[in-house]
């Protein structure tokens, strides 16, 4: 029997276990809705729901055998998990495999901000203001979007869906490309993703993101989308209670039809939150990359986060930290770090966005059939990237989800992007914790796609758990001979650490090639005593490198004035980590495994 850690296990009362797994720093709200995994089909699920007083609301998105149960006898919001007769500790039904009472999560939209003419190409009124396409206003490195258009790529035949607070489908600059099949209102449980209108126009975010991707061209309206002939849909899912079930349903919507899912939201960027996908959402992402797009894999694009001012680190965001998502950062037109940008080793690449003192933003569609030049933050970078990827998929529809990541790594450029930590990794790629592998290049991506051969099948190797204590030292690690990895893609550290002040910790991983990844940086606002529980940190900085050799892991503890000294003296702090390495399996690749392949360096002051 499983305890609810995975929806693939048998049923146990996950709703009670949650109370012991998650920190109590934020009030938890339980809903009157459950996610249940039941085998035997819809009819069997209906019978079980009726027997135990539930109403089966149907399958959860594209997740087979997972159903949405509603219990009208339970209050809609409660700070206590339900323990009544309608929620038995263990269903005495063999076909019920798993259950999870849905909790409300906080998910924030990632908006960051409080000449030459080019009118000969398009007649859209805001065309001249689209500096990030024209590369003017001190822009020194071109994303080469117009060059990709000149090669004939405009996103035709590619379907993109914006997962957000809704999309104004009747907007005059969107309705030409709007696709109802790529749309749904998860919050309202109906097909129409139109935002809820209110005086403050709070629900403008999704409409703005949609215009960046696929606003129509040459229609005398507003502006031009990056992929102006792509089909665009919207999923209204941010304007209501955000639960694991809501996120999973949104990310699994019509995975054989939608090519690209663009998300410009995530956990609070407050510098103290550690949060990520729940079990259903993880399953939706995994199903997407394995089965979506006829087995080639759905493309999940994600904004890296806007917590720079709070000294947040996007490695504590489980969405941008996932190997299944393409995490996008931002830069200003002059190549400087925007005030909102977070740093981490999982960011894959960068596009232009707001942040410069002149106040230049991204031009796009706005609520109530208007236009705006104030879209901003990594919220704007994600749809720009989604549009560029749409051009790339038009150039080669057979690209897999990993092919797309490889092409981004290969073609992104350091250019004039300013960062103190640029380094050239062992495969010759320039990489930074601010910008990933650099500024995306649309023309270079479509050219690569035209002749691209699919990368070999991905394989995963896992180094078993190691326990680090303050007295533990390890050196002289050696690689196993006879087992060769062609090259690396993603490296993950799954970490469990107990510590009285989580924000004092920093973690670095140095590859055998000498590439140093800042897996976690100090977060001064994170005063949690919860540490990390099987949290997965990820780096892309070793991409293309050889795996054999010594891996140096350093976990540093830098005591802050806010640390609880009483707890510090009473506890024995320790860390457990598991190393997971992703690589393609080619003719010369076999496997690379064993704890001896990871060298652990324990500096003075490690873990107290």
Indicate if 367 and 441 belong to the same structural domain: yes
- Catalytic center residues: 164, 205, 379
Considering its fold, how many domains does the chain have in total?
A: 3
Mean pLDDT, to the nearest integer, of 47-75? 87
pLDDT in tens, 179-190: 999 999 999 999
Residue 457: predicted pLDDT: 83
Does residue 311 lie within any of the structural domains?
yes
Indicate if 136 and 42 belong to the same structural domain: no
Indicate if 355 and 238 belong to the same structural domain: yes
Q: Name 246's Cβ contacts closer than 8 Å, sequence gap at least 6.
A: 102, 186, 187, 237, 240
Measuring CA to CA, which residue among 33, 28, 77 is closest to residue 58? 33
Residue 61: predicted pLDDT: 87
- The secondary structure of residue 204, as a DSSP letter, is G
Neighbours of 93 (CB within 10 A): 16
Mean pLDDT, to the nearest integer, of 57-74? 88
N-term to C-term CA, the chain: 37
Residue 22: predicted pLDDT: 35
Indicate if 268 and 395 belong to the same structural domain: yes
Neighbours of 42 (CB within 10 A): 13
Does residue 324 lie within any of the structural domains?
yes
Measured CA to CA in angstroms, residue 350 lies from 24, 210, 308, 586 at distances of 35, 19, 15, 29
Indicate if 236 and 305 belong to the same structural domain: yes
Measured CA to CA in angstroms, residue 372 lies from 208, 218, 360, 467, 516 at distances of 8, 18, 11, 53, 41
Indicate if 203 and 255 belong to the same structural domain: yes
Burial tier of 572 (Cβ tally within 10 Å: 0-12, 13-18, 19+): exposed
* Boundary-marking domain end, from 450, 473, 497: 450
Retrieve residue 5's tokens. 């850690």
What is the number of alpha carbons within 13 Å of residue 100 lying toward its C-beta? 27
- Can you say whether the dihedral through the CA atoms of 479, 481, 483, 488 is positive or negative? positive
Does residue 121 lie within any of the structural domains?
no
CA dihedral 349, 428, 323, 2 (to 10 degrees): -150
Confidence class for position 593, pLDDT limits 50, 70, 90: very low
Indicate if 203 and 294 belong to the same structural domain: yes
Measured CA to CA in angstroms, residue 74 lies from 64, 69, 71, 109, 245 at distances of 26, 12, 6, 30, 18
Q: Name 120's Cβ contacts closer than 8 Å, sequence gap at least 6.
A: none
Does residue 5 lie within any of the structural domains?
no
Indicate if 201 and 93 belong to the same structural domain: no
What is the number of alpha carbons within 13 Å of residue 490 lying toward its C-beta? 25
- The secondary structure of residue 38, as a DSSP letter, is E
Confidence class for position 589, pLDDT limits 50, 70, 90: very low
Indicate if 349 and 428 belong to the same structural domain: yes
Measuring CA to CA, which residue among 263, 253, 266, 223 is closest to residue 383? 263
Q: Are 352 and 435 a contacting pair, CB within 8 Å?
A: no
SS3 annotation, 373-401: EEECHHHHHHHHHHHHHHHHHHHCCCCCH
Query: Can you tell me the distance from the alpha carbon of 586 to that of 486, in angstroms, rounded to the nearest whole number?
Result: 7
CATH number for the domain including 82?
3.30.70
Question: Residue 477: pLDDT above 60?
Answer: no
Measured CA to CA in angstroms, residue 145 lies from 221, 390, 405 at distances of 20, 12, 18
Q: H helices of 396-505, where?
A: 401-411, 442-450
Does residue 4 lie within any of the structural domains?
no
Measuring CA to CA, which residue among 504, 500, 506, 502 is closest to residue 565? 500
CATH number for the domain including 338?
3.40.50.200
pLDDT in tens, 7-37: 443 333 232 222 333 333 456 788 888 899 9
Mean pLDDT, to the nearest integer, of 482-491? 73
Q: Worst-scoring range by mean pLDDT, 168-172, 270-274, 553-557? A: 553-557
Does residue 349 lie within any of the structural domains?
yes
* Boundary-marking domain end, from 434, 450, 466: 450
pLDDT in tens, 324-344: 999 999 999 999 999 999 999
Query: Can you tell me the distance from the alpha carbon of 581 to that of 266, in angstroms, rounded to the nearest whole number?
Result: 25
Using the structure block, give the residue that is written with the tokens 């320790």.
Answer: 574
pLDDT in tens, 257-267: 999 999 999 99
Query: Can you tell me the distance from the alpha carbon of 578 to that of 595, in angstroms, rounded to the nearest whole number?
Result: 9
Does residue 208 lie within any of the structural domains?
yes
Measuring CA to CA, which residue among 557, 561, 531, 552 is closest to residue 597? 552
Report CA Rg, the chain.
24
Mean pLDDT, to the nearest integer, of 494-502? 91
Question: Residue 460: pLDDT above 90?
Answer: no
Indicate if 79 and 133 belong to the same structural domain: no
User: What percent of the chain shows pLDDT beyond 70?
Assistant: 79
* Boundary-marking domain end, from 420, 450, 480: 450
CATH number for the domain including 514?
2.60.120.260
Indicate if 444 and 462 belong to the same structural domain: no
Question: Residue 378: pLDDT above 80?
Answer: yes
Indicate if 304 and 201 belong to the same structural domain: yes
Does residue 495 lie within any of the structural domains?
yes
Residue 243: predicted pLDDT: 96
Q: Name 243's Cβ contacts closer than 8 Å, sequence gap at least 6.
A: 31, 33, 102, 103, 104, 105, 278
Residue 310: predicted pLDDT: 96
Query: Can you tell me the distance from the alpha carbon of 491 to that of 499, in angstroms, rounded to the nearest whole number?
Result: 24
Measuring CA to CA, which residue among 409, 93, 412, 105 is closest to residue 273? 105
Mean pLDDT, to the nearest integer, of 430-448? 98
Residue 200: predicted pLDDT: 93
Query: Can you tell me the distance from the alpha carbon of 438 to that of 347, in angstroms, rounded to the nearest whole number?
Result: 10
Q: Are 177 and 188 a contacting pair, CB within 8 Å?
A: no
For residue 65, give its domain range.
14-103
């Amino acid at each position: 029997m499983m305890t609810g850690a995975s929806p693939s296990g048998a049923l146990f009362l996950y709703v009670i276990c949650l109370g012991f797994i998650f920190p109590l720093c934020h009030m938890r709200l339980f809903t009157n809705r459950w996610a249940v995994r039941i085998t035997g089909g819809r009819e069997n699920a209906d019978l079980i729901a009726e027997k135990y007083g539930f109403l089966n609301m149907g399958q959860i998105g594209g997740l087979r055998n997972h159903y949405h149960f509603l219990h009208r006898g339970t209050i809609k919001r409660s700070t206590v998990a339900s323990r009544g007769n309608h929620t038995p500790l263990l269903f005495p039904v063999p076909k019920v495999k798993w259950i999870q009472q849905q909790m409300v999560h906080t998910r924030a939209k990632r908006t960051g901000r409080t000449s030459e003419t080019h009118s000969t190409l398009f007649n859209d009124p805001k065309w001249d203001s689209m500096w990030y396409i024209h590369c003017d206003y001190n822009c020194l490195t071109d994303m080469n979007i117009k060059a990709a258009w000149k090669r004939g790529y405009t996103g035709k035949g590619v379907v993109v869906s914006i997962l957000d607070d809704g999309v104004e489908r009747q907007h005059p600059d969107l309705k030409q490309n709007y696709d109802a099949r790529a749309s749904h209102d998860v919050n309202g449980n109906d097909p129409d993703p139109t935002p809820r209108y209110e005086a403050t126009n709070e629900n403008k975010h999704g409409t703005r993101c949609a215009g960046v991707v696929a606003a129509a061209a040459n229609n005398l309206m507003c502006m031009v989308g990056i992929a102006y002939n792509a089909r665009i849909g919207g999923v209204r899912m941010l304007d209501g209670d955000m639960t694991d079930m809501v996120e999973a349903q949104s990310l699994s919507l019509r995975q054989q039809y939608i090519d690209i899912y663009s998300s410009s939201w995530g956990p609070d960027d407050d510098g103290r939150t550690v949060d990520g996908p729940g079990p259903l959402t993880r399953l939706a992402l995994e199903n997407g990359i394995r089965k979506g797009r006829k087995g080639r894999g759905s493309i999940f694009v994600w904004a890296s986060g806007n917590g720079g001012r709070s000294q947040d680190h996007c490695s504590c965001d489980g969405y941008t930290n996932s190997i299944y998502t393409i995490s996008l950062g931002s830069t200003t037109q002059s190549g400087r770090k925007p005030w909102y940008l977070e740093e981490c080793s999982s960011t894959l690449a960068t596009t232009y966005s707001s942040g410069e003192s002149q106040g230049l933003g991204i031009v796009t569609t706005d609520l109530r059939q208007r236009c705006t030049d104030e879209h901003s933050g990594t919220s704007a970078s994600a749809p720009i990237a989604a549009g560029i990827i749409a051009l790339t998929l038009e150039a080669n529809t057979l690209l897999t989800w990993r092919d797309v990541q490889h092409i981004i790594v290969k073609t992104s450029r350091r250019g004039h992007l300013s960062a103190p930590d640029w380094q050239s990794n062992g495969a010759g790629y320039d990489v930074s914790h601010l910008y990933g592998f650099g500024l995306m290049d649309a023309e270079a991506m479509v050219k690569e796609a035209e002749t691209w051969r699919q990368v070999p099948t991905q394989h995963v190797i896992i180094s078993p758990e190691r326990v680090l204590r303050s007295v533990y030292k390890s050196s002289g690690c050696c690689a196993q001979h006879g087992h060769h990895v062609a090259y690396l893609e993603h490296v993950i550290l799954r970490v469990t650490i107990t510590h009285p002040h989580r924000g004092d910790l920093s973690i670095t991983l140095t590859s055998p090639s000498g590439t140093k990844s800042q897996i976690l940086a100090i977060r001064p606002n994170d005063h949690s005593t919860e540490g990390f529980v099987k949290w997965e940190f990820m780096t892309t900085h070793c991409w293309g490198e050889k795996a054999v050799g010594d891996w140096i892991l350093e976990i540093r503890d830098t005591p802050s004035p806010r640390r609880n000294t009483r707890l510090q003296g009473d506890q024995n702090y320790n860390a457990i980590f598991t190393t997971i390495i992703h690589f393609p399996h080619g003719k010369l690749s076999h496997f690379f495994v064993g704890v001896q392949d990871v060298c652990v360096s324990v500096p003075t002051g490690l873990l107290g």
